A = this chain, B = another copy of it.
Amino acid sequence: MSAGKTRNEIIKAADQLIYLNGYEHTSFATIANVVKISRGNFYYHFKTKDQILNAVIEQRKTNTRSMIRQWEQQHTKPAERIKCYIKIILQNWPKIKQHGCPVGTLCNEMTKLSHPSQKQARGIFTIFRKWLRDQFRLLGHEEQADQLAMHVLSWSQGVATMASTFKAQQFAENEVDQMCRWLDELTTGKSI
């Protein structure tokens, strides 16, 4: 029954390594070394590299849902919840500075490799997208809800890319402020 434990450790290590160095750059051997396990044992749990990737994506989805649940518990106002998402980039700044947004960079790599798991990776974004859409609906923006959700996702992605490229924390802070103010104006009923 310790199989599940080993499996989880593999997924956890793979998750980290894929975030730090990218999927293609992450090898069987590297993961096995981190988990301190033989490559043979590794193969017992995952037959192919893509299977690990899918397991990692599934775990990221689970973590994402869990994080969203926390936001919902911490704040009842939709606008405050959305700001939680907006501010992730500042909370995780040290890591984002060096390795970018975990979701965005993975999707970029999947797109570039025309990888079969492209759709699954996109699914992480979809969780955020649907949730943001729901929050905007609660704010009374029925029709534009999805468009606004995509706008927030897109805005954050751009900031993550440019801030990590230029290692520009100040820029990230400025943009987060702008996003919050934009959201406030949206809440008080002005046009976008």
A113 within 8 Å of B (CB atoms): yes
- Separation of A147 and B174 alpha carbons in the complex (Å): 9
Chain B residue nearest in CB terms to A147:
B174
The segment from A19-27, A33-41, A57-65, A131-139 that touches chain B is: A19-27
Contact partner of A158 among B22, B108, B161, B174, CB < 8 A?
Answer: B161
Q: Name the prevailing secondary structure of the A interface residues.
A: helix
- As for how many copies of this chain the complex holds, the number is 2
For chain A, give the interface size range: 35 or more
Q: In this complex, which of A21, A22, A161, A168 has the most chain B Cβ atoms within 10 angstroms of its Cβ?
A: A161
- Separation of A161 and B112 alpha carbons in the complex (Å): 11
Taking CB atoms and an 8 Å cut-off, the chain A residues in 94-129 that contact chain B are 98-100, 104-105, 107-109, 111-114, 122, 125
The segment from A4-12, A69-77, A148-156 that touches chain B is: A148-156
A37 CB to nearest B CB, Å: 25
Residues of chain B within 8 A of A109, CB atoms compared? 22, 109, 112
Contact partner of A122 among B151, B166, B174, CB < 8 A?
Answer: B166
A19 CB to nearest B CB, Å: 9
Check if A161 sits within 8 Å of B100, measured CB to CB.
no
Complex A-B: 11 CB contacts under 8 Å: A20-B112, A22-B109, A25-B112, A99-B112, A100-B108, A109-B109, A122-B165, A122-B166, A151-B175, A154-B159, A157-B157
Q: A99-B111, A147-B174, A154-B171 provided; 10 other pairs, C-beta below 8 A?
A: A22-B24, A98-B111, A99-B112, A104-B161, A108-B108, A147-B171, A154-B158, A155-B155, A155-B158, A158-B159
